[in-house]
């Protein structure tokens, strides 16, 4: 595994663990909220609204990139839908580095199979 792949792997794990630590606290803590509360709280103040809209725009840009890049790199299209599901049900902070890790690995494998024989 390359350094870049290792960084993406660590970020994917962090993107899973850290947001879900807060999600568990929100849904199962003393002041447990509902899914509606969860999304409404994203627009409670100007600061949270800014972060929520920023994340949504970044997610849309990433979705376009992931869709185009899976096609360009010759990755199976089913993975696009898997990354979108992970971003919605797990965390965008997990899905994006997971995609980048898979892309790096796919490109390395593709380069290795197309490398001239020594």
pLDDT at 77: 86
Q: Residue 47: its pLDDT value, please?
A: 97
CB 16 within 8 A of CB 108: no
Give the whole-angstrom CA distance, residue 35 versus residue 30.
16
The residue ranges of every structural domain in the chain are: 3-111
Reported as half-sphere exposure (CB side, CA atoms, 13 A), residue 47 has a value of: 0
Q: What is the DSSP string of 21-71?
A: HHHHHHHHSTT---HHHHHHHTTSSHHHHHHHHHHHHHHHHHHHHHHHHHH
pLDDT value of residue 117: 56
- Please identify every stretch of the chain with a pLDDT value under 70, giving residue numbers as ranges: 114-118
CA separation for the pair 53, 111 (Å, rounded): 38
pLDDT, position 20: 95
Q: Structure pTM?
A: 0.85
Whether the Cβ atoms of residue 41 and residue 33 lie closer than 8 Å to each other: yes
């Amino acid at each position: 595994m390359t350094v870049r792949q290792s960084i993406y792997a660590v970020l994917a794990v962090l993107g899973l663990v850290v947001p879900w630590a807060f999600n568990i606290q929100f849904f199962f803590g003393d002041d447990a909220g509902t899914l509606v509360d969860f999304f409404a709280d994203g627009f409670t103040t100007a600061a949270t609204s800014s972060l929520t809209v920023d994340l949504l725009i970044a997610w849309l840009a990433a979705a376009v990139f992931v869709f185009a890049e899976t096609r360009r790199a010759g990755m199976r299209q089913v993975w696009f839908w898997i990354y979108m599901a992970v971003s919605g049900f797990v965390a965008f902070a997990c899905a994006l580095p997971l995609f980048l890790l898979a892309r790096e690995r796919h490109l390395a494998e593709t380069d290795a199979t197309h490398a001239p024989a020594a």
